[in-house]
Structure 1
């Protein structure tokens, strides 16, 4: 962090001022040089004069962190925080180390609140202690500044903490409490923030198995998004709708929502929309229709680009296709590569991935490795135990019964 002299020199150079220009008629060039090099301390009168010359408040010169310096730190922090998941490595740790020295000097402005928010979230993601207080500080500053969107986001973050712990009912309770609190304080709510809450609440209703409430809120959110022409979270809501249609075996709605997702992908140039659409098609053929030959044909038409998240969905489906084609060794090879990424926390997604062990159990049964088959069947059953009722849970339970108890 900069000293007083360094802050004066930085501001002078940013404004392309010479020592002579800043010294003006009240200071000598030599004295100003001493001040900038921290070899002399200016009087309050001299400090006021320098601030006037630089067109800043004296408080900015006296602060241990200038507004400009804080904005530079914020810019670096935003880049680290928003690193794409596919290339994410130690960026969260870097952000923590970047922000930590500034914590005692942060003020009550937006930059300070945003740094506190990102610092807190990174500490939580890195499984470090004492992450909550900075988040609460950020929330207080956002409220004072009436920055509604960022204050609302804090509510989503608090919800996400419980969601990542797989405490879905607690997460829903926190979200609803946050929503009520924001409405009571009059902070509620710009369209983007409302759609944030609607989307997360919809996902949480599905997480606890309340499909009726989920569908009702999802339909409301889609209409609200269209009415306000924000189209925010519209693709996410369509994905939830497609997943529900798939579990309900409603092929007409599956096709309808996939067309919506694909159209959005073209509009937004979003490759994930294409990946999701391909996954749903192969997943429905494998898990619901048992049309493995059709799934195999589909795989051969699609270029499976490497992707940190979707690759594992594709490996899972490829393994299931090979199982259905009775190519058991190939199926085992694909399935054993599947890893559940740490961002996968929704019980429906987890249940889909837990099928992996059930399919491995079936493959090992087919090739005569009974003990391995029983171990994988037991593992799948243990994992699915706390998940809500879905076709995936039923499949795992039936597979266990077939392999272990029959």
Structure 2
């Protein structure tokens, strides 16, 4: 556990950093014995003595008086950033380690970037660990970013705060909170850097999609794409193209599907990024199963792309669902059931459209049982899937699930 250094410890630490002996630091004004007592917190120096020691150590006296020195906070922040940015595969109690590292420093911090960032990461760590006290520290960090005019971090916090509601599937509340946060940022900051602007646009579009505000979401998304092109900033362009392609699919707009799918492919090839290419492959299959119902052709593409798509942890469950749907479509019901029962929704999947895609797979599972004459199993799954899809916005997936319920249960 980290502990905040006392005044004496700070003096001793600075003295050793400068390779000074007690005698050298004491000089002609303090005795070696008195300095030793001060360093061991057995004597309290006068302000004159503190000023003298600060001059000898070549630091500002405020650095000695601060409970947490700027340098100490920077050192802690460097360790925290390294821990915060570990990948999932390396994560071992990451949030608990982050909380333990930062907890001694989070109270009574004066305004600085380091202090705000410490509060920011500490609050996020608390949230991800399930602590109810996370919001207090996130709000403190947001206020500090505002005072320091650090828009990039402030925008990220706005997204994070809204995402906490989104993760609980409180989609309308997430959108409302986000719009309030964005209004605050627009009013507070005279200049919003292009990267922050695009990140805010992307998440606003995502939140609008989640509640079925498709037209508003499309408008925000298309504006973000144009803004991204104008400013030649492409760090989120693949996500924007993904949104655009899915919207085109849901509207059965073949021209726009082809346009944005091709954009994803071009971006993946240009950036040497496999994920957009995997998405491009998945979309080819998904359009054939969920939209045009060309199951034989979908089955052929799955065989062609299966090895490639299985390299992505993200797309494995999606591919299983598509394989099950294709098998149902070509009448291989037992095999369809086998595949669809293996599908697991990852705990990081929260968007209603993504969830609806998986729930549609459950409808295919129900239809497969129904086709085999297993009415009880078919009804049970159809009813459960209707309950799951009920709070989701209107979509082709929801319509298919409702049609399945009517077919099997009614």
Point out the more displaced range, 65-74 or 240-249: 65-74
**Partner residue, 2:105:** 102
State which of 209, 222, 226 in structure 2 corresponds to 1:206: 209
**Partner residue, 2:392:** 387
Q: Output the TM-score relative to the length of structure 2.
A: 0.89
- Matched residues in 1 for 2:166 and 2:254: separation? 30
CA contact (8 A) 1:182 1:188 kept: no
Alignment RMSD (CA, Å): 2.5
Per-residue deviation, 1:88: 4.5
- 1:93 to 1:325, Cα distance in 2 relative to 1, 3 A: farther
**Partner residue, 1:242:** 245
**Partner residue, 1:23:** 25
- Matched residues in 2 for 1:57 and 1:379: separation? 67
- Matched residues in 2 for 1:174 and 1:315: separation? 35
- 1:19 to 1:291, Cα distance in 2 relative to 1, 3 A: farther
**Partner residue, 1:325:** 330
1:99-130 deviations in whole A, cap 9, x for unaligned?
A: 22222243321111112122222322333212
- Matched residues in 2 for 1:263 and 1:115: separation? 39
2:352 is aligned with 1:347: yes
Aligned positions of 1:75-114 closer than 5 A: 75-85=78-88, 88=91, 90-114=93-117
Q: Which runs of 5+ in 2 are unaligned?
A: none
CA contact (8 A) 1:22 1:50 kept: no
- 1:40 to 1:209, Cα distance in 2 relative to 1, 3 A: same
Point out the more displaced range, 30-39 or 306-315: 30-39
State which of 154, 161, 178 in structure 2 corresponds to 1:158: 161
Q: Which runs of 5+ in 1 are unaligned?
A: none
Per-residue deviation, 1:317: 1.7
Aligned positions of 1:270-289 closer than 5 A: 270-289=273-292
- State the number of aligned residues: 404
CA contact (8 A) 2:22 2:36 kept: no
Aligned positions of 1:32-51 closer than 5 A: 35-38=38-41, 41-51=44-54
Point out the more displaced range, 130-139 or 320-329: 320-329
1:158-178 deviations in whole A, cap 9, x for unaligned?
A: 322222232323322222222
- 1:88 to 1:349, Cα distance in 2 relative to 1, 3 A: farther
**Partner residue, 2:125:** 122
